[in-house]
Structure 1
Amino acid sequence: MAAVDVIVDNLVTLWRIPAIRQNFHWIFLLISAVGSILKELELVPQTYFSSSRNALNVYFVKVTWGWTLLLLTPFLLLSNSSFSRSASFLGRRLLSLAVATTIWYVCTETFFYIEDATGSCFETDGVDVINKEFTSKASCRRAGFQWNGYDISGHSFILAYSALFIMEETAPMAFLKTASLSALPRMVLNLLYVALNLIVIVWVWMFACTSVYFHDPSHKLLGTICGVLGWYLTYRVWYLKPLSPGLPPQRHAKGLKQHT
């Protein structure tokens, strides 16, 4: 597992660079803006990833939040229990997962509602509204027709938000390198950390693909802004307040007396 240790050390070093952590959210806004321009100018050639049926989209992006929780939940439990076994401390850290899931659910449901409220059901190749009884995208498409509403990009939202969420919750790894962990927990923690970084790479790549291949510019930019705001209002505003889940541990376990 020496190779994994080296990878973990390199990843930790990368994420500790202030410019990367402080500006990571700007990357998504920049990609969304530039990608939208490239799409409108039709400067990007069609590739495997221009099809929504590509494997990464089908098996990962469509269940982005599931993959994020599947990998991040055990990492959060294992890493934070290394800092403190206090039930209240671990409870607050788990609450951050609940808050993030609530943000994901509320935003995606709001996007669906807006698309339904602003849309109409059209013939697939026509421009005439065919039937007022179809008042939602789901019912319209089940009938074999096409729904045209304001489709805020859920992919732009969830991919940006998930990557920023993972960045914040894996930050304690920088202080766990010197923690006294037995071999098995450390191995599991390292593997989860590497997997989470790999999934962030996938999210960023697929975010870029969404930006250059799909949606109208305003749909993507608004989805991206919602994702960035969801992260900013929690980790840069609310979590700094006393009545909140709080930020992930910011220093070595020995210094966390307030959580013990």
Structure 2
Amino acid sequence: MAAVGSIVNNLACFWRQPCTRTYLPHLFICISFTGSFLKMMDLVPESYFSSSRNILNLYFVKISWGWTIVLLLPFIIYSNSFNKSHTFVLRRLTSLLVATLIWYTCTETFFYIEDITGSCYESDNMQVIHGDITTKTACKKAGFIWDGFDISGHSFILAYSSLVIVEEMVPMLHITDVYRKPPLDFLYIALNAIVVIWIWMFGCTSVYFHDLIDKILGTLCGILGWYMTYVVWYPFRFSPGLPPQQKQHA
């Protein structure tokens, strides 16, 4: 368990650095632009991660919000309960409801935009159009190709999920070893591992998939969802509130 404690302390030390959390949104924008440039110039060769069938995409990214909720739910309960009432913990858990609503609204909006701006084609040459098919789902089901304005859902969810997780991990920067328990330590390590995977796969998306505008819009939606909640709304009283800060822990 000493090794686990050491890992937790090192991770907490990393996130205590002012630049790590402050510049994380900027990192996602930078990766989007850099990755898109590399893709446009064809400077990155194909690899295992250039296929959407890679294991991280299939078993993590495709269900990324599920991973985020499954890990954050118990973590928020544990990390927000020190010197706090059950009411406070329940209030903090509503942040997951808000985040889920943002995730659902954005992804459904992306699907809708792609449907209303797209057309169904018989092949990659985009010459034979099927005007009677008006949705991507129906087009794909018929074995054809749908071409529409495809805002990157991967860029959105990976950026948004990472920012939410990093915000919710803040209590671990101030909880001393005396108050930490193994379940909390393991959840913290798992959340950090998920953030690493999300950032890596965000980079892969930027390098291998989508056009620049698709990725930038998806990324900005993720950043905006985080900013309007944790920066603008949550500091106010009538909100889910922010995770406990340093002065709130013994």
Equivalent residue, structure 2, for 1:224: 219
Equivalent residue, structure 2, for 1:175: 174
Equivalent residue, structure 2, for 1:244: 239
SS in 1 for 2:112: helix
TM-superposed CA distance for 1:127, in Å, is: 1.8
SS in 1 for 2:120: strand
- The code of the aligned residue for 2:198 comes to W
- The code of the aligned residue for 2:106 comes to C
Deviations 1:217-247 (A, max 9, x none): 1000100010011111111111122211111
User: What is the percentage of aligned positions where both structures have the same residue?
Assistant: 58
Equivalent residue, structure 2, for 1:39: 39
TM-superposed CA distance for 1:254, in Å, is: 5.0
Computed over aligned residues only, the root mean square deviation of the Cα atoms, in angstroms, reads 1.3
Equivalent residue, structure 2, for 1:127: 126
Query: Residues 7, 123 of structure 1: CA spacing in aligned structure 2 closer, same or farther, 3 A cutoff?
Result: same
SS in 1 for 2:38: helix
Partners of 1:58 and 1:234 in 2: CA distance: 29
Partners of 1:14 and 1:232 in 2: CA distance: 22
Equivalent residue, structure 2, for 1:201: 196
SS in 1 for 2:23: helix
TM-superposed CA distance for 1:138, in Å, is: 0.3
Partners of 1:243 and 1:253 in 2: CA distance: 19
Equivalent residue, structure 2, for 1:139: 138
Partners of 2:93 and 2:25 in 1: CA distance: 23
Equivalent residue, structure 2, for 1:235: 230
Equivalent residue, structure 2, for 1:20: 20
Kept in 2, the 8 Å contact 1:120–1:129? The answer is: no
Kept in 1, the 8 Å contact 2:52–2:58? The answer is: yes
Query: Would you say 1:99 and 2:98 are equivalent positions?
Result: yes
Equivalent residue, structure 2, for 1:57: 57
- The code of the aligned residue for 2:43 comes to L
Partners of 1:205 and 1:153 in 2: CA distance: 16
Equivalent residue, structure 2, for 1:258: none
**What TM-score, normalized to structure 1?**
0.93
Kept in 2, the 8 Å contact 1:159–1:207? The answer is: yes
TM-superposed CA distance for 1:133, in Å, is: 2.1
Deviations 1:123-143 (A, max 9, x none): 123323532221110000000
Runs of 5+ unmatched residues, structure 2: none
Partners of 1:113 and 1:180 in 2: CA distance: 47
Deviations 1:142-187 (A, max 9, x none): 0000000000000000000000000000100112225535xxxx00
Partners of 1:16 and 1:124 in 2: CA distance: 52
Partners of 1:76 and 1:83 in 2: CA distance: 14
TM-superposed CA distance for 1:82, in Å, is: 2.2
- The code of the aligned residue for 2:226 comes to W
**What TM-score, normalized to structure 2?**
0.97
SS in 2 for 1:121: strand
Deviations 1:200-221 (A, max 9, x none): 0000000000000000110001
How many pairs does the alignment contain?
A: 250
Query: Would you say 1:111 and 2:110 are equivalent positions?
Result: yes
How is 1:158-173 mapped onto 2 (pairs within 5 angstroms)?
Answer: 158-173=157-172
Partners of 2:249 and 2:171 in 1: CA distance: 13
Kept in 1, the 8 Å contact 2:175–2:249? The answer is: no
Query: Residues 254, 38 of structure 1: CA spacing in aligned structure 2 closer, same or farther, 3 A cutoff?
Result: closer
- The code of the aligned residue for 2:60 comes to F
SS in 1 for 2:150: coil
Equivalent residue, structure 2, for 1:156: 155
Runs of 5+ unmatched residues, structure 1: 256-260
Equivalent residue, structure 2, for 1:4: 4
How is 1:204-215 mapped onto 2 (pairs within 5 angstroms)?
Answer: 204-215=199-210
- The code of the aligned residue for 1:123 comes to E
- The code of the aligned residue for 1:95 comes to T
